[in-house]
Each structure stands twice: as structure tokens, then as C-alpha cells.
Structure 1
Amino acid sequence: MYMGIVVGSVVSTQKAQSLIGKKLMIVQPIDSSKNPVRCEEVSIDTVGAGIGEAVLLVRGAAARISDTKNGPVRNEASDSAIVGIIDRFDK
């Protein structure tokens, strides 16, 4: 699990069947001081995050099976998923 800031969204009319109806967000990974690390990536949003919000992300197998309000959702085509919205950073 790691942290990021949502910096934008992606609109795609042609995509894999498993991504239909899913919101795709552009996320900048950050460290605990909110400094950017690595490059931006596209993540499936499972929690309703908005642009400018700090979020928790998962990759790999954890991203392909994410818990949502409606129960488990299989995201076979995804390698990154937003699974939480960060309220604050306590260091």
C-alpha cells in the first residue's frame, strides 16, 4: 500500500470489458511529506476520490480484487486501485 494525490481523470470510450463503468484517475505517488515520488499513474477509483485528494493505493493482486461499498469487485485489467481517502498525515 502506498500514498498519492489525485491530479486528474481519464476518459476512455474503448476499454477492456472489466473496466466498463469504472472511474479512472491520474494519481501522483507521494511520500509522507507529500513530495512526489516516481511518475504519475492511472488507477481505478473504488472509493469516489476527487481531484486534489490524498489517497491510499494498492498494486498487483490487491488492486485486482478491491473491496468497495457494493462488495468485492474484480478488476482483472487493473494494476493499480485507489482503496482509501487519506484524512490527515500524522508523523
Structure 2
Amino acid sequence: MMISKVVGSVVATQKDEKLADLKLLVLEVHDQNGKGAGSYVVAVDSVGAGLGDMVLYATGSSARQTTLTDGRPCDAVTMAIVDSWDLGGDNVYEKWKDA
């Protein structure tokens, strides 16, 4: 899993029928220190994430192992909304501080 921030959403009116009821998010990939890495990914939202949320996401075959994405053509999925994380004993992120 990787850390990212929800920075947008994707609306696609014409898409494969297996994607019809899925919410698509634009994620900015972040490094372990919480800094944006300058790369982006579109992911299926399986946890109800919203704009500005820090999330964990998975890609590849792991992305198709949730109840929501099983058997669907997706390559990235949000797996968790991050409340906080630390690195080497130092607090990197706390959701309540960014609210």
C-alpha cells in the first residue's frame, strides 16, 4: 500500500458497465514524510474518502481484492482513510490537525 492525498475526482459518463457504480478519485502520491511526489493516480474509492483526505491505496492485483472491486477492471483502489502516521518516533500527519 502507498500513501496519497485525494486531490480530485473523475467523472466518466461512458465507461465499461462494470465501472458504472464506482466513485473514481484522483490521488496525489506522497512520500513517507507526507510531501507530494508530483505523480498522480486514479483509484476506485472503497472507503468513502473525500477531497483532502490522506488515504492508503493499493495497485495491481491487490486492487481487485476488495468486495467492491472483485472482478472489475481496476488497477488502483483506496483501502483506508489515514488518521495519523509517524516515522522514526516523529509525528508526520494527524488528520485532526489538517481539518
What TM-score does the superposition give when structure 1 sets the normalisation length? Answer: 0.88
C-alpha contact 1:19 1:75 (8 A) present in aligned 2? no
Q: Deviations over 1:16-50 (max 9, x none)?
A: 11111100000001012111225111000000000
Alignment RMSD:
1.2
Partner of 1:87: 83
User: Using the alignment, how far apart are the partners of 1:41 and 1:75 within structure 2?
Assistant: 20
State the identity %. 35
Task: Flag the structure with higher helix content.
Answer: 2
Gaps of 5+ in 2: 88-99
Number of aligned residue pairs: 86
Partner of 2:29: 29
Gaps of 5+ in 1: 67-71
Whose Rg is larger? 2
Residue 48 to residue 42, structure 1, CA distance change in 2 (3 Å): same
The runs of at least 4 consecutive aligned structure 1 residues that moved more than 4 Å come to none
What TM-score does the superposition give when structure 2 sets the normalisation length? Answer: 0.81
